[in-house]
Amino acid sequence: MRAAVLTDIGGLDRLAIAEVPDPGPPGPGEVRVAVRAAALNHLDLFVAGGLPGIDYRFPHVVGADGAGVVESVGAGVERVRPGDRVMINPGIPDRTCEFCRAGEQSLCVQYRILGEHLPGTLRGAVLVPGANVAPIPDLEPALSWAEAAAFSLVTLTAWRMVTTRARVRAGEWVLVWGIGGGVSLTALRIAKQLGAKVIATSSSDAKLARARELGADVTLNHATQDVPKEVRALTAKRGVDVVVENVGAATWEKSIRVLAKGGRVVTCGGTSGPMLVTDVRRLFWGQYTILGSTMGNDAEYAAIVGELAAGRLRPLVDRVFSFSQVRDAYAYLERAEQLGKVAVEIPPS
């Protein structure tokens, strides 16, 4: 079976198309999905560069997000049948630990993500737990494979960040950094659905124009404008209630500075660097809350699939690459020119 694999860590020149063993039939509770498209996330770039804590076994099959056709199901799987078109939730919990039993699967002590801790979706077929697939809702127009593949990781991540963790409410001010990325774009859309006033930033005026089309109340070019100063002016010196972060080192200090008293910062990553400096005097005097968030639980995944079925949060796909162009797809994502998701189509084998 053909797969996109890393032959080593270190960069995109270690990415190749190779033959890998067929994953075989599904075991009890598992589903075998013929993958028709995968979508890339910043996580995939981190995995290619080398992440501490991953037990890499090369060749390492990449890709977290995917969608395809159920080929066969193992004993005990009832929610899908062979032939169903499904999206894959890439976060795989052990379903036994105290957090799983409490319904908080993304807090699982053995939480694993496809393409990171487990072989990924950029191959002809993948085995996943039955609980990790959801039938693709019927929409008009129908979702493409690329759109379906682009749905799960960023929508789940943004949903938990904005609703469960930051608890954004109608009328609140929310600042979202770097609107080109999938999590940021989706966080903007969710915050607007909740009735918040959203300030979106980008270094690209074209992306800011798109953000306004998607409902951003205010857009700021963080390359040419002083974001904290502009936010103070916009909010009569008050600041914003919530900052949605995934940039990290380059923006963190400003994220704290733009908060209103009692404000919250919610973060799911640090694309510009992981080590952050926080002035504790600002933190306690402002009585701020710093919230970490990753992926989401089963109830949140069901909620976002429901949103999609209701015609909301349809994935925004920027560009679709062919399977043989997978390295070009990674390079395109690395250049951060995209507005929305980057997907890779996988031909039926």
CA distance 213 to 255: 24
User: Using CB under 5 A, which of the segments 99-107, 150-158, 162-170, 267-275 binds Zn ion?
Assistant: 99-107
Task: Give the nearer residue to Zn ion in terms of CB position, either 20 or 97.
Answer: 97
Is 1 an interacting residue with respect to Zn ion (CB under 5 A)? no
Task: Give the nearer residue to Zn ion in terms of CB position, either 110 or 287.
Answer: 110
CA distance 170 to 159: 15
CA distance 106 to 111: 6
Applying CB under 5 A, among 108, 136, 156, 329 the residue interacting with Zn ion is 108
CB of 113 to Zn ion, least distance (A): 14
Structure tokens at 223: 């390359």
Is 107 an interacting residue with respect to Zn ion (CB under 5 A)? no
Is 178 an interacting residue with respect to Zn ion (CB under 5 A)? no
Task: Give the nearer residue to Zn ion in terms of CB position, either 97 or 276.
Answer: 97
DSSP state of 253: H
The string of DSSP codes covering 146-185 is: HHHHTTHHHHHHHHIIIIIIS---TT-EEEE--TTSHHHH
The string of DSSP codes covering 114-154 is: BTTTB--SSBSEEEEEGGGEEEPPP-SSPPPHHHHHTTHHH
Task: Give the nearer residue to Zn ion in terms of CB position, either 100 or 244.
Answer: 100
CB of 277 to Zn ion, least distance (A): 33
User: Using CB under 5 A, which of the segments 32-40, 94-102, 166-174, 267-275 binds Zn ion?
Assistant: 94-102
Is 120 an interacting residue with respect to Zn ion (CB under 5 A)? no
Is 94 an interacting residue with respect to Zn ion (CB under 5 A)? yes
Residue pair 295/157 in contact (Cβ under 8 Å)? The answer is yes
Task: Give the nearer residue to Zn ion in terms of CB position, either 19 or 94.
Answer: 94
User: Using CB under 5 A, which of the segments 90-98, 235-243, 280-288, 311-319 binds Zn ion?
Assistant: 90-98
User: Using CB under 5 A, which of the segments 105-113, 135-143, 303-311, 331-339 binds Zn ion?
Assistant: 105-113
What is the bridge-based pairing of β-strands 30-40 and 341-345?
antiparallel
Backbone phi and psi for residue 316, each to the nearest 5 degrees, phi listed first: -100, 110
Is 97 an interacting residue with respect to Zn ion (CB under 5 A)? yes
CB of 303 to Zn ion, least distance (A): 20
Amino acid type, 135: P
If DSSP codes are grouped into helix, strand and coil, which group holds residue 303?
helix
Task: From residue 45, give the alpha-carbon distance in Å to each of 11, 14, 250, 262, 288.
Answer: 8, 12, 18, 35, 31
User: Using CB under 5 A, which of the segments 11-19, 96-104, 206-214, 314-322 binds Zn ion?
Assistant: 96-104
Label residues 230-259 b or e (16+ Cβ within 10 Å = b): bbeebbeeebbbbbbbbbbeebbebbbbbb
CB of 294 to Zn ion, least distance (A): 14
Total chain residues near Zn ion (CB under 5 A): 5
User: Using CB under 5 A, which of the segments 108-116, 149-157, 235-243, 282-290 binds Zn ion?
Assistant: 108-116
Is 100 an interacting residue with respect to Zn ion (CB under 5 A)? yes
CB of 104 to Zn ion, least distance (A): 8
Among 233, 230, 228, 281, smallest CA distance to 259 is for 228
CB of 106 to Zn ion, least distance (A): 9
What does the binding site for Zn ion look like in residue numbers (CB under 5 A)? 93-94, 97, 100, 108
